[in-house]
Structure 1
Amino acid sequence: MIKVAKEVGANYVAHGATGKGNDQIRFELGAYALHPTIQVISPWRLPEFYNRFKGRDDLFEYAQVNGIPLPVTKSSPWSMDANMMHISYESGVLEDPNHQAPPGICQMIIDPEKAPNVPEILVLEFRYGVPIKVTNKTDSTEITKPLDLFLYLNKVGGRNGVGKIDIVENRSIGMKSRGIYETPGGTILLAAHTDIEVFTMDKEVRKMKRELDIKFADQVYRGFWFSPECEFTRYCINKSQESVEGKVTLKVYKGGIYILARESPLSLYNEELVSMNVQGEYEPTDAGGFIKVNALRLREYCRLREKSN
């Protein structure tokens, strides 16, 4: 949007986000980060707009009177944000957090109980942490192009009822909101990537990477994608993925994802070392000293409590 604004010499951009949500923050912080002098028009925050249209019901009526077609109805008044990754649903009965979501609300996935009785077995291959191939062993489908791969996982997850969540979130401006989210392909990828990451990544590095994941999610959620801290976080996450390579076999079945196997040329898994049938290059007596060192502060804490009492 900002690229086009610069090309045509526009001084203003506008968006339709409400004055209560997070989208307004992400839109505008992104716009200012890329075009510091741009001016943003946000109708939902203009008194002449929100005093005339108190809410979605008034907008429904305005659209009906003026012959404006809408993708929603008063009986299904969901506020939906859709992209390749997911669709989110808010508004209507969903504003009552104790009201169960109506059946069939999702558009990308079916209800798990309606999913086929035959599971699908997928093999996902990663390199540098990026999915490069998916093979469906059930029907022999193989896909390597990134966009096609992701869209295919959306289909597989969708027809098997995978990827729906019902959550209450904390908005950046301070209020809580309830929403339904469907993310079929992303949910499959997350399960497979997490497994191959644990399999190939050093324990302490992965611990730090998980902390970065949380920071990254928070930065993006609050609209700071183009900030220096988010650039740094993305760089570190990319660095952590250098050894994340291999294949994960999983089963997709009636709303669930089940990891079946994994392999990697860069695996840190040492079968001989971990085996219960072979001692390998490990001295069991070393564990005693490790435990005693870690128990030292616990013993001292216990001594302090006894002294206090």
Structure 2
Amino acid sequence: MSKSFNKVVLAYSGGLDTSAIVPWLKENYNCEVVAFVADVGQGEEELAGVEEKAIASGASSCYVVDLKEQFVKDVIFPTLKTGAIYEGQYLLGTAVARPIIAAAQVEVARKVGADALCHGCTGKGNDQVRFESAFAALAPDLEVIAPWREWDMRSRPDLLNYLEERNIPCSASVTKIYSRDANLWHISTEGGELEDPWNAPTEQVWTWTKEPEQAPDTPVYLTLSFDKGEWVGLNGDAIEPVSAIDALNKLAGEHAVGRLDMVENRLVGMKSRGCYETPAGEVLYAALQGLESLVLDRTTQDYRIRLGNEFAQLLYDGRWFTPLRDVMLAAAEKIAEPLTGDVVVKLYKGNVTVTQKRSPNSLYSNAFATFDEDEVYNQKHAEGFIRLYSLASRIRALHAQSDEAAS
């Protein structure tokens, strides 16, 4: 490698890959390595001792940045308002964290005067695109180093041997069954038996949610309050978003809510299988959709659904830092303006059911919908509406009859 850098900021997790990347960068790029750790709610266990690990691996310093509140405010809640669900199933738990992590990494790079950024994403996944697209938008002047696309190491034993040769401590072992990614919003699991779609996931796959058979036999009912599409209350009490999402994850997970076993289409072209757990997300999406059904008119609700599909694709593909993101979020904010009200959900054996909903902006009127006699709707008027609504079909059929008669 002909290039050398003065200082590189590495997105560091403390796992095997990034522990090996630190000395590899120093050896191959003759640079100082600054470790950057994003706290997006992955839990104290994952963050315990991470600074010491980074220094022991050869980093000159380690910045642990608490992004949880910003993660919720700037990414999770706005994405919720769009209704984004990738390929009709995935609540984007991994993708949703990448913009906030990439932006914070660039901030650290500016702070320490770095001339390059580095990530530990593989050359087969989506995350390399997400991170590098963000870097291109936020710091086009900084070089990007992707070791998995450069080095000769290809396996866990290769990485472990590399660290052992340099007397760098690492708690990882040769036999790692699963690859996991966790944040405040979700946890994903890949690898192991999941690499064969014919294999059902074993119980070891799931870490946040119970099996439905093991969930409580008594349902729990929750009242969620929203203000302009933003979650603001639970069971009548105001919430603090970060702790509320964490608590809802635990409660809904106890009731087996939030599991997804999915084969998805990656941006890079291949299919991959992942098991995702997003308990709080599943509850909040269901509650918001229940409120939408009460408040939004038909054409607006239809557009929100299309917006959600398009925003899911944008987020999944790593296009957060684009003008289109601003346009779509502005539309979502406008659509969400009347989404104020309360929704009661029932959690039971893996299911979320909306049982009650109310809003001061409700478009539902019993006076219009009732089968009893009313003064606001004359059923005779429907005849003219139906005749106009079906006019094109009527004209087409008349033409067909005329052609038949002529032949």
One fold, TM greater than 0.5?
yes
- How far is the alpha carbon of 1:199 from its aligned partner? 0.8
Give 1:85's match in structure 2, choosing from 168, 185, 191.
185
* CA 1:73–1:182: 2 relative to 1, 3 Å: farther
1:125-204 aligned at under 5 Å gives the runs 125-135=225-235, 142-204=237-299
* CA 1:175–1:205: 2 relative to 1, 3 Å: same
Query: Taking every aligned residue pair, what percent have the same amino acid on both sides?
Result: 36
- How far is the alpha carbon of 1:153 from its aligned partner? 1.0
Residue deviations 1:146-199, cap 9 Å, x none?
Answer: 222211211111111100011111111111111110000000000001100121
Distance between the aligned counterparts of 1:18 and 1:84, measured in 2?
23
User: What is the aligned partner in structure 2 of residue 10 from structure 1?
Assistant: 114
- How far is the alpha carbon of 1:52 from its aligned partner? 2.9
* CA 1:268–1:92: 2 relative to 1, 3 Å: same
The residue matched to 2:203 in structure 1 has which SS? coil
User: What is the aligned partner in structure 1 of residue 205 from structure 2?
Assistant: 105
Distance between the aligned counterparts of 1:251 and 1:208, measured in 2?
28
User: What is the aligned partner in structure 2 of residue 28 from structure 1?
Assistant: 132
TM-score by length of 2: 0.68
The residue type paired with residue 266 of structure 1 is N
Residue deviations 1:98-144, cap 9 Å, x none?
Answer: 111112411111111111111111000000000100118xxxxx452
Distance between the aligned counterparts of 1:87 and 1:253, measured in 2?
21
Name the count of aligned residue pairs.
Answer: 298
- How far is the alpha carbon of 1:5 from its aligned partner? 0.5
Distance between the aligned counterparts of 1:57 and 1:203, measured in 2?
57
* Contact 1:133–1:149 (8 Å) recurs in 2: no
- How far is the alpha carbon of 1:288 from its aligned partner? 2.1
Distance between the aligned counterparts of 1:197 and 1:110, measured in 2?
29
User: What is the aligned partner in structure 2 of residue 19 from structure 1?
Assistant: 123
1:40 and 2:141 correspond: no
Deviates more, 1:22-31 or 1:104-113: 104-113
Deviates more, 1:83-92 or 1:200-209: 200-209
* CA 1:23–1:303: 2 relative to 1, 3 Å: farther
* Contact 1:104–1:110 (8 Å) recurs in 2: no
Distance between the aligned counterparts of 1:61 and 1:111, measured in 2?
38
* Contact 2:156–2:174 (8 Å) recurs in 1: no
- How far is the alpha carbon of 1:213 from its aligned partner? 1.2
User: What is the aligned partner in structure 1 of residue 171 from structure 2?
Assistant: 69
The residue type paired with residue 84 of structure 1 is L
* Contact 2:157–2:174 (8 Å) recurs in 1: no
* Contact 2:153–2:159 (8 Å) recurs in 1: no
TM-score by length of 1: 0.89
Distance between the aligned counterparts of 2:314 and 2:298, measured in 1?
24
1:52 and 2:188 correspond: no
- How far is the alpha carbon of 1:300 from its aligned partner? 4.8
- How far is the alpha carbon of 1:59 from its aligned partner? 4.2
* Contact 1:143–1:149 (8 Å) recurs in 2: no
Distance between the aligned counterparts of 2:273 and 2:133, measured in 1?
24
The residue matched to 2:388 in structure 1 has which SS? helix
* Contact 2:225–2:234 (8 Å) recurs in 1: yes
Deviates more, 1:202-211 or 1:123-132: 202-211
* CA 1:304–1:177: 2 relative to 1, 3 Å: farther
User: What is the aligned partner in structure 2 of residue 139 from structure 1?
Assistant: none
Distance between the aligned counterparts of 2:164 and 2:211, measured in 1?
32
The residue matched to 1:181 in structure 2 has which SS? strand
The residue type paired with residue 218 of structure 1 is Q
Give 1:121's match in structure 2, choosing from 216, 221, 246.
221
- How far is the alpha carbon of 1:61 from its aligned partner? 6.5
